[in-house]
Structure 1
Amino acid sequence: MANVTFGGREVTLVGNEVKVGDKAPDFTVRQNNLRRLTLEDSKGTVRLISVVPSIDTEVCDQQTRRFNEEAAKLEGVTVLTVSVDLPFAQQRWCGAAGIENLQTVSDYRDRNFGEAYGVLIQDFQLLTRAIFVIDKNDTVTYVEYVPEATDHPNYEAAIEAAKKALA
């Protein structure tokens, strides 16, 4: 598993570490209207999945706003932000932040995404910061488990990976 710290403290991640070349694990999360969303729902598109611990924190806020801006330029890419925040809180935050180009989804019910992608922090039942790019054939083409969960991901590398997966 990836070695990750949260606020300088080493944490234990639950689930399987996902690697480039793997078939993307299926998952079930909840949309802001509480409807289910699975990997299959975006089949045939490139997916950029941005994982954050909580949308209401500074770095998570900035990360989601950044990918919202980039999503407007990434035609053919489905951009999701996954956290364990309740769908109602995500919806409120998106409205206040003017998020229109990506979709926030919640893993609050059973941490299905967190375990499938190896991003569930056992101690806190939050998701660690990570980025995944999945191509149209459901193959993982980019992975970043951010070593310190309170740091920013490599935005440029993730965006380039999404563009490359479109080709």
Structure 2
Amino acid sequence: MAAITLGGNPANTLGTLLSKGSTASDFKLTTTDMASKSLSDYSGQRKILNIFPSVDTGICAASARKFNAEASKLNNTKILCISRDLPFAQKRFCASEGLENVEMLSDYKDGSFGKNYQLTITDGAFEGLHSRVIMVLDENNKVLYTEQVPEIGQEPDYESALNILK
């Protein structure tokens, strides 16, 4: 279990993140057009997993905007924004923000991604949602970098995550 905070109030997650050098497990998530996507659909590509509680919060929106701006500078890299938001909300958000360089994926059906990756929040106001996590994977899904932001209202360390791929 990882201890995090939301507005200074304690919260916990299911467990700890994958360690550097480990292999990320496959997942099944839903796209904004209601299709299914799995990690294997991105074989041979590097991936930044930008995981957050909801697109309807300021920091989550800021992280999606930041990675959208940086995406065009990265070779052979997909940026996957993952939350428990409904695909319709994710699609609306991308349209209103003009985001075209990130791919939104939803774990709304059963939360299995958050459970398998041990980042589901287990208590507090955001119980059941994903904690704020950045995970960078290579072309073979080996973990190159992880960050679980200790305070949900804090932005992740974008530069450290992006520098891993430069």
TM-score tier by shorter-chain length is over 0.9
Percent identity reads 39
Partner of 1:71: 71
CA distance in 2, matches of 1:53, 1:145: 12
Q: Secondary structure at the match of 1:121?
A: coil
CA distance in 2, matches of 1:15, 1:78: 26
* RMSD, aligned CA: 1.1
**1:84 partner letter:** R
Structure 2: segments with no counterpart, 5+ residues: none
Partner of 1:51: 51
**1:144 partner letter:** E
CA distance in 1, matches of 2:72, 2:43: 20
Q: Deviations over 1:120-157 (max 9, x none)?
A: 11232111101000001110010000011110000000
The partner residue of 2:135 within 127, 132, 136 is 132
Partner of 2:9: 9
Taking structure 2 as the reference length, the TM-score comes to: 0.94
Aligned ranges for residues 42-121 of structure 1 at < 5 Å? 42-121=42-121
* Distance apart, 1:16 and its partner CA: 5.1
1:48 touches 1:162 (CA, 8 Å); kept in 2? no
Aligned residues between the structures: 163
Partner of 1:160: 163
**1:10 partner letter:** P
CA distance in 2, matches of 1:112, 1:41: 18
1:15 touches 1:114 (CA, 8 Å); kept in 2? no
CA distance in 1, matches of 2:108, 2:122: 14
Structure 1: segments with no counterpart, 5+ residues: none
1:48 touches 1:78 (CA, 8 Å); kept in 2? yes
Taking structure 1 as the reference length, the TM-score comes to: 0.93
CA distance in 2, matches of 1:16, 1:130: 11
**2:71 partner letter:** A
* Distance apart, 1:15 and its partner CA: 4.8
* Distance apart, 1:3 and its partner CA: 2.3
Q: Secondary structure at the match of 2:108?
A: coil
